[in-house]
Chains A and B, each alone.
Chain A
Amino acid sequence: DTEVTQTPKHLVMGMTNKKSLKCEQHMGHRAMYWYKQKAKKPPELMFVYSYEKLSINESVPSRFSPECPNSSLLNLHLHALQPEDSALYLCASSQDMSRYSGNTIYFGEGSWLTVV
């Protein structure tokens, strides 16, 4: 199993709503990532969790709140978002945070978020 599974695939939320995006992997990976991808743009890193601890926060606004409840799950809690936050949110995982040739980053299919 080399899959990263994300739910929901599509989400529409109002600016006052609270919602969550979920990500799961069963590859035994200890690094998990959230990327944001706007239409026709490359993915941009938001957060990295390493061994269930937040390792990197790329100056993301506090209305995005990540959570890693265990080594297989990664959540992204959303609150008071703006329309410009509408994007594809990609979850990814890798063995760990080390740079070595076998440490491939695997991506999920993404969750399409629309903020109205």
Chain B
Amino acid sequence: AQRVTQPEKLLSVFKGAPVELKCNYSYSGSPELFWYVQYSRQRLQLLLRHISRESIKGFTADLNKGETSFHLKKPFAQEEDSAMYYCALSGAGGGNKLTFGTGTQLKVEL
């Protein structure tokens, strides 16, 4: 079975502070990991995927297979980063099918 765990429901940081949203996964094969973001009153959208190894809006995430983690990081938080962030996994046997974590609400305070 595949499972995604996001231990923090809410993360509050000050503007300019570093951000780390935690994500751990459980999957026996080779998963694809994603971060999706949902800004207030907007649709769920892809932020980044581990296979692309890119930085989007200053965010990066590295897949650590040893620790089965895919934490999302940004060195300096901006007010516009406030949103709900979901970590998601796509397993090899399920095609392009996503299993989401419970989400972390990021609040960036001035």
Contact = CB atoms under 8 A, between A and B. Distances in A.
Interface of A: 4, 31, 40-45, 48, 50, 55-56, 90, 94, 96-99, 101, 103-110
A43 B92 contact: no
B97 A42 contact: no
Interface string B69-107: 000000000000000001000101011111111110000
Contacts of B1: none
Given A41-B102, A90-B44, A96 B49 contact: no
Interface residues of B, number: 22
B28 to A, nearest CB: 16
Interface of B: 32, 42-46, 49, 51-52, 86, 90, 92, 94-103
A98 B52 contact: no
Contacts of B86: 42-43
